[in-house]
Amino acid sequence: MRAKASAAAAAAGIGELAAEDVARGLALRVSGLGLRLPMGRGTARLWGQHHWALRGVNIEVMRGESIAILGRNGSGKSTLLRAIAGIIAANEGRISIAPGLTAAILSPGAGFENNLTGRENLINSALYQGFLPKVVRAKMDEIVELSGIGDWVDQPVAIYSAGMRARLGLSLALHLPTDVLMIDESLSAGDAAFRAKAEVMIDELISSDRTVILVSHNLETLRTMCTRGVVLDRGRQIAACGIDEAIQISKAILLDTATMSVPGNKGLSQRDAILAQLEAVHTAIADWHKRAEEHGQIFRKTSQAYQLTLEQLVQIADKLAAAREPAAEAGTARFAGGVEVKSEVDAIVAKYQEARQQVKAKRAERDAARDEQERITKKGQELHAQLAALNDKLAGL
């Protein structure tokens, strides 16, 4: 498994630190990291449009150090952690880690499969990060106790709340024997008691000479637990400094963004104007993703409903064909006490006509949903084209 992990790391552009770097206590170094990602979802990722999710990132992290990655949504924080973990490969630059160090990344519910129980997912998630099942089984009781989910650990994850998933994932990460632990947006999971216990464990990890990299929007938590911070914005590294200064810079970026978004704000430079437009397009794309996901569910439901009514129509048609032969011989009506009783064929014909109307209605609903899906897809293409054009303008300044 170690050989496979090493091969995967090499494929992701991750190498080993030099002996002199290890001797001075360096755990990992990120040098000139750049990473391009395709834009869009599904087949849209094949359109050939890409953007720089990260570029020009340079970080050094010492053994036993706890650093924070700060930045607003979409700045590249989670992408940076995945690149360090070897999950995605960089297009330029290099990531170097001290020989023999193990690393684990935690994102809320990462690697969890809905149809498996929490206990099964703990083992699968650990395997995903290179740890054998026996490592998790030995600490299973402690992991479950910290997560606070109790007997729910033996129920499918599909019925978990988002908080339960995050607590279970964080509990697992805190118990894995890793040298470098990367935590992505999980410290806000659970109630105050859970967060307090998790923070105590992280403090113990830091005190035990393990390296921790935190991503969180809770700036006060980062101030308490970290000594340094790296600030990212739109995939670019803005600063690498002490945690107090990093928090001030991060707040200034958020304030500057809010100021630029005020209607009627004049006097912006050409670069600021483009950045403001980019922000608006990013917001529109986020709304578009939400709308596309919601309507995708509607389209699937209408398609399934249409298919179901079509199958029912076929079944009724088969029954009608089977009933018509004996009915032709025995007659299509019978009399009992002077009152005509509807024949079996007549009843099936009525059901068949009703089923045809249902099929027609469901087909119309499906077609309308499909047309709306096409409009949403076209809107997404237009937004991503706008994003690419603005990025080209910004790069040309």
Which of 58-62, 125-129, 235-239, 370-374 has the weakest average pLDDT? 125-129
Least confident span in 31-35, 36-40, 114-118, 248-252: 36-40
| Residue carrying structure tokens 């119309």 | 364
- Residue 363 host element (H or E): helix 344-395
Asked if residue 69 has pLDDT above 90, the reply is yes
Give the global pTM.
0.57
C-alpha 54/C-alpha 321 separation (Å) is 65
What ranges in the chain are assigned the alpha helix state H? 2-11, 19-23, 77-84, 118-128, 133-138, 140-147, 162-175, 192-207, 219-225, 243-260, 270-330, 344-395
Q: How many whole angstroms from its chain centre is CA 300?
A: 21
Do residues 265 and 256 make contact, with C-beta atoms less than 8 angstroms apart? no
Residue 234 DSSP label: T
Express each pLDDT in 224-238 by its tens digit. Answer: 888 999 999 888 888
Under 8 Å between Cβ of 92 and 237:
no
- The pair of structure tokens assigned to 293 is 């996901």
Instruction: Give pLDDT, residue 146.
Output: 84
Going along the chain from its start, the domains and CATH numbers come out as: 2-102+179-260 (3.40.50.300), 270-325+332-395 (1.10.287)
The identity of residue 235, as a single letter, is G
Per residue in 309-327, pLDDT (tens digit) is: 888 888 888 887 777 665 5
